[in-house]
Structure formats: C-alpha cells, structure tokens
Amino acid sequence: MISCPKCGVSNPEESRFCRACGAPLPGASDGEGGGRRCPMCGAMNPPDSVVCERCQARLVPLIAEESATEAEEAPEAAPPQAAPFSAEISPPAEGEPDWLAELRATMEEAEEPGPEETPPVEEVEVPEWLTGSAPPAAPAETAEGEEEVPEWLQEVALYSAPAEEPSPPGGEGAAAPEPPSEAAPPGREETEVPDWLREVLPTESPPGEEEGPPEWLEAATPSEAPEWPAEGGEETALPRGDEGAVPFTEVPPEAAETAESAASEIPAWLREVEEAAAPPPLLLEEEAREEEGPPAAEESVESMPTWLLEEAAPAEAPAEEAGPEAPGVSKGGHVFTSEEGVPSLEPGEVPDWLKELAPPAEETPAAPPLEMEPEHFEGLVPAEIPDWLQALRPREEGEAAEEPVETEGLLEGLRGTLPPSPLIGAVEKAVAVPSVTTKPASVARAELFQELLTRPVISPRRVEKKPRGPMGLAIQRLVVGLLVLVAILAPMGGVWLPMEEGPGSAVPAVRADVQVAYDTIETRVDRGTPVLVAVEYGPGEAEEVDLVARALLQHVLDRGGRLIFVSTRPEGPALADRLASSLDGADEARTVNLGYQPGGASGVQGLLADLARRPIYPTGGPATEAAAMEGVTSAEDVGLIVVLGGQTEDLLAWIEQTSARYPDLPLVAGISARVEVSAQPYLERAGAGALRGMVVGLPGTAVYYDLRGVEDVHLPYYLQAMAMSQWVVAALMVVGMVVFLVVGGKGR
Amino acid sequence: MERFTKRILPTAIAVGAGVLTLLGYLFPVEPFITVRDEMVRWAVIVAAFAFILGFLNILRVHLGRLAGRGAGRGYSLVLIVTALVSLFVTSAGLAVDSARRMSDWWFGNVLYPLQAAAAGLVAIVLAFSAFRLLRHRRGVEVLFFLAAALIVLLGTIPLPGVLGTALATLRQWWMEVPAMAGMRGFLIGVGLGTLLVGLRVIVGIDRPHSDV
C-alpha cells in the first residue's frame, strides 16, 4: 500500500496516482517499464513509442511531438500532469453551496466505502472531448450518482476508469492488481498521461497551488468576463445552440448568488471543472483570480502548444455567437468554455481517438455577424444601396409573408413570386379588317362550287344512244337536201315559177339602189376613164358576185373606161383574171391587174396612194408600163371605184378608206346578198353617204340588166332556181315551226 | 435587257408609229403626209411578212401532228404536201400552156370549184337548221328570227301580183329600218371600239405586241 502524501489515502502498490485526490504517488514509475499507455487499447508501450505496438494508435500528437521530445529530454523537470485532474476535494467549507456538498457526499459514498478515505476524487478537469477517450467506468460505481450529477460531471468522473477498469468491482487490497479505488499510484501518473497531454496541461502544479487555476488556463480565461452570471444566476441556458450542451440550470441558484464569496473556497479541481463545463464558474473563477492578481496571459499562451493555440483560436467564433456577454469569451484571448466550444482538430494533428471525440463540424455554429468597436466606424459613411440591389437582398420570412400568395398556375401557393409582365395578357387593339362586299354572283358561284365539291362522285356511265325517231336526223337532212336540190334543178326540167317579167318585176328598193349605180357609171365613166376595181370576194361567193361584176364592168367597158384590178385578198388577182377574161373588150390596153395588196385597211390605203408602184400581175412588171395605167399614179387619177365584195370587212374597208381620204371619189358596190345588210348604212341617202349605189345579188343584177336593156341568157334560169330553192326553204321553215311547235322539242 | 427588248422597245415603236400616222391624217401637210404614207407601206410589208410566218407556222403544226402519230395525220400529210407543191409551182412560174399558168389552172380547177361547192352546201345547211330551229330552241326571239328570215326570203323573190308586191315592200322596210338600225348600231360600236383600242395602243396601255 502506498499512502498518498497529500491526502493520506492508502493506494495499491501499483497505483501511480492517489485514488482519492489524484496526486502522484511516491514510487510510482512511468508505467511498468516507464512506457506510454495507449489511449485506445490501454496497452503499455515503451516511453519513446509514438505509435501503439498493439493497435497502432498514435500515442503522441503530431504537433506536440516535438514538445514531447523535449520533455523526454528532461523528464525529471516535468512534474506530473495530474495537478489539474487530481484536485483534492476539500472538506465542505462554510458557505459551500448545498449542491456542491451534496455532490461531494454522493461521490464519497459511491467510491470510497472506507470512512477514513477522503471523498472520491472527481477528476473532472478533463473536458468532455478529452474524457471520451477513456473507457467507461464500472456501472456500479456511478450508478447512484448519475442522476444527480450533471452529465458533464459524470463524464469527468468516468475519466478515472482506465485505472479502475482492470480491477474487479469493490475489490481492494495489495494483492489485487487493480484495486477498485480510482486512485492510481503516483508512479503511474506519468505513464498514464501522454506527453502531448502533458504539454497541454499546466507544466507543474505544486500541491500548494492546487486551489489556483493553472497558468495556461488563466491565460485562456477571459480577462473581462461577462457580467450576466453575476447579475442573477438565473436560469440561463448555455448559449451554444447545441442540444448536447450542459444546461446551466443544473447549477443551483444559490451557487450563483454565493459564487463570488465562495470562489476562494472552491477547490481547484472544482474550479477547473466549472471552467470547463459552464461559464458561470469561470466567471467566478475570473473574479477570484482578479483578487489574486492579474493573470499572466501571455506566459500561459506561450506555454501552450502550437496546435492547441490553433485549435483554440477558432473557438472565438462560436463563443462570440452569444454576443459580447458570451461566457468564457475573452476578447482577443482564447476560449475553453466547454467541450463543445473546442473546434475540431485538423487531421494529422490529433490522434484518431481524439479526432473521433471532436464535435461534428456541422454542429459548429455559424459565425455571428462581426461586431466592431464604435471607433472602427469613425470616418465611414453608410453606403446607399440602390433599389435594384435592395430587391436582390435576401428577404426575411416576415417580408416574404407580406407578399401576395400566388393563386394559380405552377407557382400556386408560393409567396413572393414575381408579378407577371404587364404586357403579357394585355388585350391589344383589334386590327381593323376592311369590310369586303361580296357580290351575289360571286356568292352564287361559290355556292355552286361548294355544291360540286360536296356532290358524291358518280362514275361515268356509258351514254346509251337514244333510238332515233321515225324521222331521224339523217333522214331529215336527206329530205331537206333533196328538196333544195329538186328546187334548184326544177327550172332545168321546165318547171318555172310565175315571175313578173321586165324591169318592173324587181323589188322597188332594189331597183332604186341599182338605178343609182347605173346612173353613176353612166355619168362618171367615159372613154379612157380609169376605173379602179377592187376584187374582194372569194371562190365561194364568186358564182353570185361574178354575175353582178360582169353587169357592172361590162357597162364600164361599154362606156369606154379602163379597168385597173386590185385586191386585198390573196385569191383576188386570180378571180380578177377570171372575171376579166369573161368581159367583152377587156384587153390589155383597157385592163390591168395589179395583183394583191396585203394589209387589210392599210393595204387599201397603200393601194389608193401608190397605184403606180404596184407590179403587174402575174408578170411583176411595173404598173406604169401598162396601157390601162396611163396617167394613173393614185386613186386621185381614177374616175370611179367599183368594189366587188363578198365579205363585210373588205367592203367596209374600201368604203371607209376611200371616203376618208377621197371624199369626192364615187364608189359603187356590186356585192353578194349576204353583204347587203352591212352596206345599207353607207348608201347615199339625200346626197350623203360614202356608197353611191350598189347592185346586190341576182335580183339586183336582173334589175341592172333590165336598166341597161340587155339580156343575159343564163340570168332567168338562175333567178328561177334561186326563187324555187327559196320557196322550198321557206316551206321547210314553216313546216319545221309547225311540227316542232306541236310535237315539241328540247326547248331552252 | 430582256425587259427593254420585249416591252419597252416594242411599245415605243408602236406608239411612235401610231402617233406619226395619226398626225398625218389630222394634219395632212408635209412632212406628216410623207411619214404617214411611209408608215402605211411598212405596215403592208409587215403584213406580207406575216403571211410567211403563217405559212411556216402551219407547216410546223402539222409536222408536229404528223410526228405525234395522232388522229388526222393523213389530212396533215395532204396539207403539207399540197402547200409545198403550191409554193413550188407558184415560185417556179410553171405554166400549163403558153396562155395559162399552172397556178391559174390550179386555182380555176381545184380551189374555185371546191369553195363554190362548199358555199352551195351552206344553203342546204341553213335550210336544215331553219327547219329544226324550234327543235332546239324555243322562244319569242326564235320565232322573231324565223319570221324575219321568211320575210326576206319571200320578199326577194320577184313574185307577181299583190303578194309579190306586199312581200317586196315588207322586205324593203325590214331591211331599211330594223336591219339597218341594228347594223348601224353594230358599226358604231365597232368604230368606237376600234378608236378606243387604237388610242390605248398608241398611249401604251395595251401592248399586244409585247410579251410582258
């Protein structure tokens, strides 16, 4: 048994620290071989080991490795590090709070059955993150005190378990390798505390200075502690924002009220526990320290390992989160308010076991807004934030709640949505559509077209040939043709119609027009008078017009005139030669054929203007060489124009061109009966008119011959054939009218 | 360039020729008369050249029909052969004898009888059509047309007696009053239309001589 030189409690032979007060026991060596105990598996390693030989856990922190090396060089100079952890529980002093006394009594009752023993040492100085590495203590030893002791205090109590774990519960004696007592032999203290931890902890804690806080902790304590703990000690939660935080309400209010007076009486170990667990005790500690003297902060900082300084620096952020009144916060200093306040260590700088104990990163509260001293704002002018930037700033929930709620669409139910553009959905002015007036005819055509489109398609059917009636079309044609033929041939068979003979037999009107023509030739044509004859008919009209032409031209020749034949039709020159050959006295001296002049009305104009330039048909010689052309160069040199026409256009062209350019030049026409109606308007009436007179068809020719007093042997036959055929045709028309009016027809 | 040759140039020529010819008639003084007569000569030459184009065109059409193996190829073949032979006979100045040329003989013995016979058939066709007119058409105008035809036909026949005189008098009235009135109206319409078309061509509104 080894008696603790400090408290006198008996400890097993192998103990390194006192199981009551935690003080190093004399004769305790640094482990069995003076090595290092693995914080993970508890195995002993040689003193110079860095990594556990059993579990490969790192025994010395990386940062503290150099310091540990230095410490190994002077191991004797380094006192045991148990000072902060083995604060002796002093007997209850006067004014001690009830909760503390109760706590002490509970500890003593649970851990030390012997009456002579001091209350069990609560090695609560180690913060929670550090105590987590220790094996849990036996349930039997802490079962009773767990409900009354705060959680942080329970964890601190469990720190002593490594020394107690091997020992059977309740056992005590020298034979036992590990007595149930929590105290360890002083000689083992150095072996249980790693070097790196030894560097972290105060370098030396003499027994006589146990009641004062270690220097390194004094340097870490805030120089200006907040006043809130002293003002009331009311129920206040630890301002860490961490659910795992130990509520300060577990501290009795009486303790806060009497903290200032009892600060000097609180043992060092309890003071350190309070510093590590809750700010109020630190405040008390600070006040008590102020009474003792100013802390040597700089020295303490210098004595701290570098890694701990780096770890302590970020602790300002969570400490400042509570504002300037955050307990345990020292302006510009380091903070060790609680285990939660310790920032996470950098990988590689701490052993794995310590890394696991570190609080999760997400639990670290966000940095509070930076608060600066008023003097820092001197000379600064608040910036004016433009509206557009104000609109972009994050909105508070309260502001968002003021925004209208979207009532429809995909964003239904959301607040603060952007309003739709005013242009979207705005009804524009309708474009004026010009009114279109639709004609009824167009509508009718459209309806017909629509009807045709909607009409069902009918496959074409073979049109059955209707049977002909009793009087088929061919029979009708045959009958009509035969009747006309019989009428034409009837005069040849001696069948004559009764016809008035003599000049009086002609129609009075026909007789008048023929009379004018006859008189014109009689008056205008003398011997050698050139007469321009326009042959403007074709072979189809030749049989009819030739009769008329012969009557007129023979009269001219009989009068001694000269005939100059021209034509605007290609077949005209040939007909002119044929006509001339049928006339008596039509020799080359009195007749000349100037051929065909193309161009229609322009050709007539050219003929009238340039008769002398025309070639002689068919030789092509110059017209001036012809005897009939003697003294004739243009229409002005002729005495009469006789137009023999069978087509309306040709007759009108000659009438119009002659009357326009040569108004005094008389024009007589011998035309077919089909052109009579077209020539009627140009006949001279009452001394006005371009056409002086005309002879129309067989009736006119008959009248003309009658006027001249000559007789044509063929003319009566022609007249009988014409009259007979006209009667037949007239009869067919009447019969057809009656038949189809009675029988009926297709109609319209 | 195409616009100039197909539209501007023909229009300019037509307008210029029309204006110059019109000036020669409106102001029959020199040099308008000379220019007018020259323009008329050019028109005759152009019309003669149109006959050549027409001849070539009818050859092309019927040659195409002959190559296409369509209906009526035989008629086309006869037409082409006849046209070429007529051209050769006329151009060569072949003669039947010393008094008659081949062309005149051809005209007097082929063309003249054929056209005369066709004209004679017209009388038969007109008679048959008049007979069946009410078979196809009915109405007041048809009856009016048939009555007018009967009057003209019967009035032209120099019949003796009162009937002949009455029909002749009725026919004369019909020809001098209703028929002439209608014909005058028709001629006035034609004259106005010709004047309008001439002015439109001269001004350039109508361009029948232009492709575009």
Say yes or no: A520 and A658 in one domain. yes
What is the pLDDT, as a whole number, of residue A470?
57
> In the predicted model, is pLDDT for residue A643 greater than 90?
yes
**Cβ neighbourhood burial of A240 (10 Å; 0-12, 13-18, 19+):** buried
Q: Do B40 and A476 touch (CB under 8 A)?
A: no
Say yes or no: A216 and A301 in one domain. yes
Rounded (5°) CA angle B64-B67-B71:
85
A284: enclosing H helix or E strand: helix A279-292
Sign of the torsion angle spanned by Cα atoms A63, A66, A69, A73: negative
CB A577 within 8 A of CB B22: no
Say yes or no: A293 and A224 in one domain. yes
Q: Would A31 be classed as within a structural domain?
A: no
CB A157 within 8 A of CB A189: no
Q: Do B143 and A737 touch (CB under 8 A)?
A: yes
Instruction: State how far the Cα of A199 lies from the Cα of A308, in Å rounded to an integer.
Output: 10
CATH number of A611's domain: 3.40.50
- Over residues A131-140, the pLDDT tens digits come to 444 444 444 4
Instruction: State how far the Cα of A10 lies from the Cα of A183, in Å rounded to an integer.
Output: 9
Domain boundary among A339, A363, A387: A363
Rounded (5°) CA angle A447-A452-A457:
160
* Min Cα–Cα distance to chain A from B80, Å: 19
Interchain contact B52–A (C-beta under 8 A): no
Say yes or no: A612 and A543 in one domain. yes
Q: If you average pLDDT over residues A25-38, what whole number do you get?
A: 60
- Over residues A623-632, the pLDDT tens digits come to 888 888 888 8
What is the pLDDT, as a whole number, of residue A342?
46
- A11/A459: higher pLDDT: A11
Q: Would A735 be classed as within a structural domain?
A: yes
* Min Cα–Cα distance to chain A from B147, Å: 9
Q: If you average pLDDT over residues A496-504, what whole number do you get?
A: 62
The partner residue sitting opposite A730, judged by closest CB among B46, B50, B150, is B150
Q: Would A720 be classed as within a structural domain?
A: yes
Measuring CA to CA, which residue among A588, A599, A590, A593 is closest to residue A611? A593
Instruction: State how far the Cα of A306 lies from the Cα of A62, in Å rounded to an integer.
Output: 11
Instruction: State how far the Cα of A556 lies from the Cα of A670, in Å rounded to an integer.
Output: 13
- Over residues A92-102, the pLDDT tens digits come to 455 556 676 66
Interchain contact B152–A (C-beta under 8 A): no
Say yes or no: A692 and A545 in one domain. yes
> In the predicted model, is pLDDT for residue A267 greater than 50?
yes
Say yes or no: A483 and A557 in one domain. no
- Write the DSSP assignment of A5-54 as a string of letters: TTT--EE-TT-SB-TTT-PBPTT--SSSSS-EE-TTT--EE-TT-SB-TT
Say yes or no: A481 and A511 in one domain. no
Q: Would A398 be classed as within a structural domain?
A: no
CA dihedral A43, A44, A45, A47 (to 10 degrees): 150
Instruction: State how far the Cα of B154 lies from the Cα of A314, in Å rounded to an integer.
Output: 140
Q: A-chain residues within 8 Å CB-CB of B37?
A: 606, 609-610
Q: If you average pLDDT over residues A215-237, what whole number do you get?
A: 44
**Which residues, in sequence order, are CB contacts of A645 under 8 Å at separation 6+?**
A534, A536, A537, A545, A651, A654, A669, A670, A671, A672, A675
Range of the domain at A516: 506-706
Say yes or no: A520 and A648 in one domain. yes
Say yes or no: A481 and A539 in one domain. no
Domain boundary among A337, A363, A389: A363
- Which letter, b or e, does each residue of A484-504 get, where b requires 16 or more Cβ atoms within 10 Å of its Cβ? beebbebbeeeeebebeeebe
**Domain count across chain A:** 3
- For A657, name the nearest residue in chain B, comparing CA atoms only: B25
List beta partners, residue A534: A566, A643
- Over residues B112-131, the pLDDT tens digits come to 888 888 888 888 888 888 88
Q: Would A265 be classed as within a structural domain?
A: yes
What is the pLDDT, as a whole number, of residue B165?
81
What is the pLDDT, as a whole number, of residue A424?
63
The ipTM estimated for the assembled molecules is 0.83
- A269/B168: higher pLDDT: B168
Q: A-chain residues within 8 Å CB-CB of B17?
A: none
Q: Do A618 and B114 touch (CB under 8 A)?
A: no
Q: Which tokens go with A427?
A: 């009804």
Instruction: State how far the Cα of A560 lies from the Cα of A91, in Å rounded to an integer.
Output: 186
Say yes or no: A483 and A518 in one domain. no
Q: Would A538 be classed as within a structural domain?
A: yes
Q: Which tokens go with A187?
A: 């000689």
Instruction: State how far the Cα of B60 lies from the Cα of B62, in Å rounded to an integer.
Output: 6
- For A732, name the nearest residue in chain B, comparing CA atoms only: B131
Q: Would A167 be classed as within a structural domain?
A: no
Say yes or no: A673 and A617 in one domain. yes
Residue B58 pLDDT class (50, 70, 90 cuts) = very high
Q: Do B180 and A680 touch (CB under 8 A)?
A: yes
Say yes or no: A657 and A517 in one domain. yes
CB A23 within 8 A of CB A186: yes
Q: A-chain residues within 8 Å CB-CB of B139?
A: 748
Instruction: State how far the Cα of A732 lies from the Cα of A736, in Å rounded to an integer.
Output: 6
Peptide bond into A179 cis (omega under 30): no
Domain boundary among A310, A341, A363: A363
List chain B domain ranges: 1-92, 95-131, 134-204
Mutate to test the interface with A, among B134, B143, B167, B188 (most CBs of A within 10 A): B134
> In the predicted model, is pLDDT for residue A283 greater than 50?
no
Q: Max Cα separation, chain A?
A: 196
Q: Would A235 be classed as within a structural domain?
A: yes
